[in-house]
Amino acid sequence: MKSQRLHIAIQKSGRLAEKSLDLIRAAGFRLTRSAGDLAYSVENAPIDLWCVRDDDIPTFVADGVADFGIVGRNVLAERADGANDDGLVEVMPLGFGRCRLCIAAPEGFVYDGARGLNGLRVATTYPNLLRRFLKARRLDADIVTMRGAVEVAPRLKLAEAICDLVSTGATLDANGLEAFETILESEAVLVRGAGDLAPELRRAADSVVARFKGVVASQGAKYVMMNAPRAALPEIIEILPGAEAPTVTPLAGRDDAVAVHAVCQESVFWETLEALKATGASAILVLPIEKMM
Ligand code: PRT
Ligand code: ZN
């Protein structure tokens, strides 16, 4: 009989491991370790976590061993090569593990558009993504597939260019390389398989998705409150970043001024506060949001 618990595959150790656990905890799921360091059990919901290599997460989900996975979009995209469509679906981006898959070459390389890659060797651990990029641009470069440490390939004369993930750019800098093209924007995503869930697991699955959405939406979101001249309202709404219709309430004993409350979906910078102040707003408060649904 199939298990009555929902299974989520996460990275065991590495760049996404801690942040995946943080997300799950922020969604209110209490974790206890089980099976050594291979799994966690959620105490307050019928959910278990499998801790595995990130490269195996798509297989776990595609085979139905896990119902969901948390993995880099780059790993998913590298696996899906069109011919081998395993029906994996990206449910939502999770806002961490951001990076770009870039083409880079030694500084000083004259990159005259992607055509400059014709006839060159490009080293990568992402041969499928690179092949698709080259094909879409009708380019003819040789792909040198490596297992890691791609950034040393030009120095070892193994390739003239590389195609690798970049986040801060420090690795490229340290190796005298420069990025020219981004072929994929990546971050950690929640992935699910193509199959239907057992009815008794659907509630847990809906709750995972809704709570993750809440956590992701509240990250960076702020609750902004202020008093403002009624006449400045249109201008204030323009200035507030990513705010949906703000709440406007009267101020006792003041006909010309109102209180404005708004949820801003984007960062609120000091510049924004200064711009608000310039419209005549006062008592401006910016508060963090803990949960949002
Ligand atoms: O052991 P396991 O197989 O599970 O882990 P792994 O070693 O294959 O993966 P890991 O933990 O390195 O990365 C997991 C995921 O993190 C990746 O699949 C990406 O989705 C995401 N991620 C985000 C990154 C980076 N940023 C990143 N910068 N993955 C790798 N890098 C590497 C990159 O390959 C290069 O070597 O970091 C270097 C560049 O970093 P910067 O900061 O110097 O630009
Ligand atoms: Zn890996």
Per-residue pLDDT tens digits for 165-198? 999 999 999 999 999 999 999 999 999 998 888 8
Q: Which residues surround ligand 2, an ion (CB under 5 A)?
A: 54-55
Confidence class of residue 114 from pLDDT cuts 50, 70 and 90?
confident
Q: Which of 60, 79, 128, 165 to mutate to test the pocket of ligand 1 (most atoms within 8 A of CB)?
A: 165
Per-residue pLDDT tens digits for 23-37? 999 999 999 998 777
Q: Which residues pair with 80 in a beta bridge?
A: none
Query: 83 pLDDT exceeds 90?
Result: no
Which domains are seen in the chain, by residue range?
Answer: 6-97+188-218 (3.40.190.10), 99-185 (3.40.190.10), 222-288 (3.30.70.120)
Tell me which ligand sits closest to the C-alpha of residue 101.
1
Q: Could you write out the DSSP letters of every residue in the chain?
A: ---SSEEEEEESSSTTHHHHHHHHHHTT--EEEETTTTEEEETTSSEEEEEE-GGGHHHHHHTTSSSEEEEEHHHHHHH--STT----EEEEE-S-S-EEEEEEEETT----SGGGGTT-EEEES-HHHHHHHHHHTT---EEEE-SS-GGGTTTTTS-SEEEEEESSSHHHHHTTEEEEEEEEEE-EEEEE-SSPPPHHHHHHHHHHHHHHHHHHHHTT-EEEEEEEEGGGHHHHHHHSTTB-S-EEEEETTEEEEEEEEEEESS---HHHHHHHHHTT-EEEEEEE-S---
Query: 82 pLDDT exceeds 60?
Result: no
Q: Which residue has the higher pLDDT, 85 or 208?
A: 208
Distances (CA, A) of 135 to 37, 70, 115, 122, 247: 42, 29, 12, 14, 51
Kindly tell me the burial class for residue 91, based on how many C-beta atoms sit within 10 Å of its own C-beta (0-12, 13-18, 19 or more). middle
In 3D space, the residue among 147, 144, 171 whose CA is nearest the CA of residue 159 turns out to be 144
Per-residue pLDDT tens digits for 7-21? 999 999 999 999 999
Tell me which ligand sits closest to the C-alpha of residue 163.
1
Tell me which ligand sits closest to the C-alpha of residue 168.
1
Cα(14) to ligand 1 centroid in Å equals 8
Distances (CA, A) of 42 to 32, 59, 242: 6, 23, 34
Query: 204 pLDDT exceeds 70?
Result: yes
Cα(129) to ligand 1 centroid in Å equals 16
In 3D space, the residue among 161, 159, 164, 160 whose CA is nearest the CA of residue 149 turns out to be 164
Q: Which of 54, 187, 191 to mutate to test the pocket of ligand 1 (most atoms within 8 A of CB)?
A: 54
Confidence class of residue 107 from pLDDT cuts 50, 70 and 90?
very high
Q: Which residue has the higher pLDDT, 290 or 151?
A: 151
Cα(98) to ligand 1 centroid in Å equals 10
Q: Which of 74, 90, 167, 187 to mutate to test the pocket of ligand 1 (most atoms within 8 A of CB)?
A: 167
- pTM for the structure as a whole: 0.89
Pairing assessment for the beta strands 47-52 and 68-72 based on DSSP bridges: unpaired
CB-defined site of ligand 1, < 6 Å: 11, 14-16, 53-55, 72, 74-75, 97, 99, 164-171, 186
Smallest CA separation from ligand 1 atom 7, residue: 14
Q: Which amino acid is at 18?
A: E
Reading the block at residue 13, the tokens are 């150790």
Query: 292 pLDDT exceeds 80?
Result: yes
In 3D space, the residue among 166, 154, 103, 105 whose CA is nearest the CA of residue 130 turns out to be 103
Pairing assessment for the beta strands 121-124 and 142-145 based on DSSP bridges: parallel
